[in-house]
Chain A
Amino acid sequence: MIEVKNISKTYGKKDNVFKALTDVSFTIPDGASVAILGKSGSGKSTLMHVMSGLDKPETGEIIIDGKNILTLKQKEVDKFRSNKMSFIFQSFFVQANESCYDNVSLPLEIANLSAKTRRKKIEVALEAVELMDKMKAKARELSGGQKQRLAVARAIVNSPRILFADEPTGNLDSVTGAVVEDLLFDYNKKNGVTLIVVTHDPDLASRCDMQINIKDGKIESIKGNK
């Protein structure tokens, strides 16, 4: 369970203060798929950064599995992210000059796993996104859809509990985008992993169990499909 309590975040100083988030609170049950929906500049990306501990809000609490991650030390937050969270970004952020294998290997290396245990997990992850045949290929040789599938493999390789996806289909056409969407939702359903999708696409949002609408840094509405 993820509890977000009274989060406020501002950018800038004095005259240029910009309120990115104002008193945001909600609760996400384990294994749910959640869409954080809003226009660009609404604060939805900031919300994701705060929830993952990448950014620190001025006030509020983020309680994951009973622990307020905002009070943890940097080292513990890093460990938390390494073991429990993973990310998918709009512009993939795969390392073009590395092989697919090495791209997927990175989270496991960060988590301090031995080369032998890594191999097994990487193969499973690449199999799940149907990129086994590209294992040794450089990431730059992949198409956009393949790159995002590679990013999905990298995100799921270390069996995270929470999967953040920031506009995962924003740079893809509808067909390849649908493939990536299916991968994410399948993984969410099969493994009971909490999926948090940040998007401005209502169609993608409608596939989620829960939609959180954000406007000007405030929650406009929270809808549940169930």
Chain B
Amino acid sequence: MKVKVRYALLLIALTVVPAAWNVSGAQDGVGAIEGSVIFKVEVPEAERIKVTRNADVCGAHKVSQEFVVSRDNHGLKNVVVMLGGAGGSSGEAVVTLDQQGCTYVPHVQVTTKGATLIVTNSDATFHNVHAYHVQSEFKKPTLFNVAQPAGSEAAKQTFVLDNTGVVEFNCDVHEWMQAYVIVHDNTFFSVTDENGHYSIAGIPPGEYTLKIWHEGLGEFEQPVTVSVGETLTLDFPIEGNE
């Protein structure tokens, strides 16, 4: 009997400890944050956009990617979650933005300051890539505006993202085309998946500001304290604005 209990305790210890390790990102001296962004009000219907030119390449309709919400758990995709105040780091990150069927792929991504952005046009039609640095609701100076004729040498171009902030991409030919690259000052960031889930691991313990951004919701901040070996679970509900 006694032996059995000891055996059981050992079994519990063996199963629980690795579980705890996993949660903390399987690293020493660090913590993690994870959670979900969930719609608590009625899920908006995605807008259908009629394609008015180059339908042979673009298709007849496009569906707005502003609010991509899971029908199962109401999780919101493409929410950017970043850690502020975690020191600066600029990297040799390389990110890509492709134009496929008159849609930017990916729609939203995050990278670090100094990253290289490769913009390609895989479509058999002309796109111009007009990038804006979003400074406020009313102030969006152009970062660059280049021509990418189909199949030309200019259909692949490289840029360096020198400044932090939100970069918005539009095509002046196909006005529904929109994409965002968020340039952050450190590597602690995440973008929510189809279920609205995000996770940031390997965070040194300390006090930070969790910054959240979404194209249709704007920005939001919340102070957080990260402790060693712990995973902080922070879910963000979305409610109606009056």
Answer whether A and B are interacting partners. Answer: no
User: B-side interface residues toward A, CB under 8 Å?
Assistant: none
User: A-side interface residues toward B, CB under 8 Å?
Assistant: none
